Chain A
């Protein structure tokens, strides 16, 4: 079976992208209208029933997040749209917004309405200047046409603030992102308390990924079944993948969950003579041809001990020295560690030094053992996801090497 590129989220990609008239003409904003007709509680219930899980990497059920903020005691609540997209090899959120800024913003408005948010923040990766500008322009158009009216609590107009990051990967981590918006260093905080309890400015906060919120309008407009009509039982819907590397047509592809990895690679014009792909970005794992038949779903990747992560799929041909790739990943983590905790601050540095030695072929021979030992310390003892996953790819490479899977 060959996979189909199934444009649901990306159906407006192309000529009329970002045009409010044609967005409304093709059914846009009907979901917001419906949400306001059925009320917050019912809106969240539909979302929960749809089984939508967050696309930012942690795969947390979106409905559960919304419900705990909706029912929070504190009258001040926030919704944050996480547009920091900084995972290496990941560009699907950018493509999503470029293709259909209004669908993402409608999802945001529905979220705000459903949890009675007093204010929304959009945190945009610093390098995505044009994305921030497109969002600002689209928001202005929505506002001028009166679509932000009565979306806030007690019939107030919704206030939305766009914030641009300063170029730090860590600020995509939700608690570091809050610190950044608050004006502090982007350093992750301890969880619990979770954002839904004490998030931005210590207030109940929904933080969602761009792709997560882009799914919301269709779910609300057409019901929970709309999402469940595609994908698998446990991973309903479609998924955006950023496919790059040794393929003929690197791009963002939308496929139903459950599509085989090999079919996705074929869509992108590759997959014949690949050595491996890196699934999920820098924080993901290397997957080798023997596993290319894996099902791209949360249950499918768990079965093969890998991850969908941020939806990055980076392909490497047989000429590539994967230790050199690992060295780049190691450099990335060492550079992006916020520096707060010892296992990550010092660990990512030591990891990078050893990977450098291996990539350049002047190791002392004990690097592999030390890397394995260090990976356990970083995974177990780091504060946040950055340090906890900074050794995941390396560990998968070590395993692949022992199994004789490397081409050179």
Chain B
């Protein structure tokens, strides 16, 4: 294995290993760095530009999530230029998106001192799509982070149902030629929902409960189990609303060695039989 080396972060030496990105080093050194498109299991899309840093020798700022650390790199994260650029990214997003289900985005924006109404103008309006039984797509909330495209494509699912269509401000996520999901290549694994950082993609049940004011994470317990559909043995976390003893959604731990948080349609959405055993009459009526 190749030797470790050091880089300079805001004037201080920090250890780095070959293959690591600047962001990896920043995280280990606990230098707080905002990110939106970055996801631990996905290829860096380097599109949101929230994590930019100043790199000696580079005229523009560079995305720390994507740029590999090299010996003796000199990185600055504390300069006014960096702070201004990061704040700008959040201010631009706040000027276009509905961020009501994106608490991570909002809190990072606050930390940076972003002014929500700095810029005004046309909102991002790509519409609400309710075209299947398992999840809804509210693209007014989409920040085009590319996570869902990568998860549906080569990074996880290899289904390639999703792509970016159009360009500039009107670019957006599309299942082929703006097909409904049912008519697209989608296999309803829900892995795009899993990685979406803004709630633009949301399980139908969560969406319905939110609309009814009944979605409350503090009232949920997580029950661990193993998926019973096949022999792979994916761990499932059943999120159960303890008030109604009702499953609100199913996820898998993002560090689970088999799933890395990703599931298939059966594990993620095929849970109504559990409720049928408890409350057969309700299951017949439909959830």
Q: Which residues of A contact B (CB under 8 A)?
A: 168, 170, 185, 190, 334-343, 345-350, 353, 370, 373-374, 376-377, 379-383, 388
Given the known inter-chain contacts A350-B121, A381-B89, please indicate yes or no for A345 contacting B168, CB distance below 8 A.
Answer: yes
Q: Is B166 an interface residue (CB 8 A)?
A: yes
Check B144–A339 contact: CB distance below 8 A. Answer: yes
Q: Is B143 an interface residue (CB 8 A)?
A: yes
Check A343–B168 contact: CB distance below 8 A. Answer: no
Check B48–A342 contact: CB distance below 8 A. Answer: yes
Check B121–A374 contact: CB distance below 8 A. Answer: no
Interface residues of B in 144-169 (CB under 8 A from A): 144, 146, 163-164, 166-169
Chain A residue numbers with a CB within 8 Å of B119 are 350, 370, 374
Check B88–A339 contact: CB distance below 8 A. Answer: no
Chain B residue numbers with a CB within 8 Å of A168 are 167
Check A374–B168 contact: CB distance below 8 A. Answer: no
Check B121–A349 contact: CB distance below 8 A. Answer: yes
CA of A138 to CA of B84 in the docked complex: distance in angstroms?
52
CA of A335 to CA of B9 in the docked complex: distance in angstroms?
38
Question: Min CB distance, A397 to chain B, in Å?
Answer: 19
Question: Min CB distance, A408 to chain B, in Å?
Answer: 26
CA of A380 to CA of B170 in the docked complex: distance in angstroms?
23
Chain A residue numbers with a CB within 8 Å of B92 are 342-343, 346-347, 350, 377
Chain A residue nearest to B44 in the complex (CB): A190
Chain B residue numbers with a CB within 8 Å of A373 are 84, 88
Check A334–B49 contact: CB distance below 8 A. Answer: no
21 inter-chain pairs at a CB distance below 8 angstroms, sorted by A residue, are: A185-B163, A190-B66, A339-B144, A340-B144, A341-B49, A342-B48, A342-B93, A343-B85, A343-B88, A343-B92, A346-B92, A346-B93, A349-B96, A353-B121, A374-B119, A376-B85, A377-B89, A380-B52, A380-B81, A380-B84, A388-B60
Chain B residue numbers with a CB within 8 Å of A380 are 52, 60-61, 81, 84-85
Q: Is B31 an interface residue (CB 8 A)?
A: no
Check B166–A343 contact: CB distance below 8 A. Answer: no
CA of A379 to CA of B95 in the docked complex: distance in angstroms?
19
CA of A373 to CA of B52 in the docked complex: distance in angstroms?
17
Q: Is B141 an interface residue (CB 8 A)?
A: no
Check B84–A377 contact: CB distance below 8 A. Answer: yes
Chain B residue numbers with a CB within 8 Å of A341 are 46-49
CA of A136 to CA of B86 in the docked complex: distance in angstroms?
47
From B52, B85, B167, residue with most partner A Cβ within 10 Å: B167
Chain A residue numbers with a CB within 8 Å of B52 are 380-381
Chain A residue numbers with a CB within 8 Å of B67 are 190
Chain B residue numbers with a CB within 8 Å of A379 are 60
From A334, A373, A381, residue with most partner B Cβ within 10 Å: A381
Question: Min CB distance, A176 to chain B, in Å?
Answer: 11
Chain A residue nearest to B92 in the complex (CB): A346
Q: Is B118 an interface residue (CB 8 A)?
A: yes
Given the known inter-chain contacts A339-B164, A383-B46, please indicate yes or no for A349 contacting B85, CB distance below 8 A.
Answer: no
Given the known inter-chain contacts A350-B95, A380-B84, please indicate yes or no for A342 contacting B47, CB distance below 8 A.
Answer: yes
Per-position contact with A for B16-50: 1 when CB-CB < 8 Å, else 0?
Answer: 00000000000000000000000000000011111
Per-position contact with A for B118-153: 1 when CB-CB < 8 Å, else 0?
Answer: 110110000000000000000000011010000000
Chain B residue nearest to A168 in the complex (CB): B167
CA of A374 to CA of B106 in the docked complex: distance in angstroms?
20
Check B61–A349 contact: CB distance below 8 A. Answer: no
CA of A168 to CA of B168 in the docked complex: distance in angstroms?
11
From B67, B92, B166, residue with most partner A Cβ within 10 Å: B92
* Partner of A340 from B47, B81, B121 at Cβ < 8 Å: B47
Q: 9 shortest A-B CB distances, which residue pairs?
A: A339-B171, A377-B88, A346-B92, A349-B169, A381-B85, A337-B168, A353-B121, A381-B49, A380-B85
Check B47–A353 contact: CB distance below 8 A. Answer: no
Check A336–B85 contact: CB distance below 8 A. Answer: no
CA of A373 to CA of B63 in the docked complex: distance in angstroms?
20
Chain B residue numbers with a CB within 8 Å of A346 are 92-93, 95-96, 169
Check B49–A382 contact: CB distance below 8 A. Answer: yes
Question: Min CB distance, B233 to chain A, in Å?
Answer: 36
Check A337–B122 contact: CB distance below 8 A. Answer: no
Chain B residue numbers with a CB within 8 Å of A190 are 46, 63, 66-67
Chain B residue numbers with a CB within 8 Å of A334 are 168-169
Chain B residue numbers with a CB within 8 Å of A383 are 46-47, 49, 63
Given the known inter-chain contacts A190-B67, A349-B122, please indicate yes or no for A342 contacting B49, CB distance below 8 A.
Answer: yes
CA of A340 to CA of B95 in the docked complex: distance in angstroms?
17
Check B49–A374 contact: CB distance below 8 A. Answer: no
Chain A residue numbers with a CB within 8 Å of B50 are 342
CA of A370 to CA of B163 in the docked complex: distance in angstroms?
33
From B66, B85, B121, B169, residue with most partner A Cβ within 10 Å: B169
Per-position contact with A for B82-114: 1 when CB-CB < 8 Å, else 0?
Answer: 001110110011011000000000000000000
CA of A341 to CA of B65 in the docked complex: distance in angstroms?
14
Question: Min CB distance, A192 to chain B, in Å?
Answer: 8
Question: Min CB distance, A81 to chain B, in Å?
Answer: 24
Per-position contact with A for B53-72: 1 when CB-CB < 8 Å, else 0?
Answer: 00000001101001100000
Chain A residue numbers with a CB within 8 Å of B81 are 376, 380
Chain A residue nearest to B59 in the complex (CB): A388
Chain B residue numbers with a CB within 8 Å of A335 are 167-168
* Partner of A343 from B89, B96, B143 at Cβ < 8 Å: B89
Check B88–A338 contact: CB distance below 8 A. Answer: no
Given the known inter-chain contacts A185-B164, A345-B169, please indicate yes or no for A374 contacting B88, CB distance below 8 A.
Answer: yes
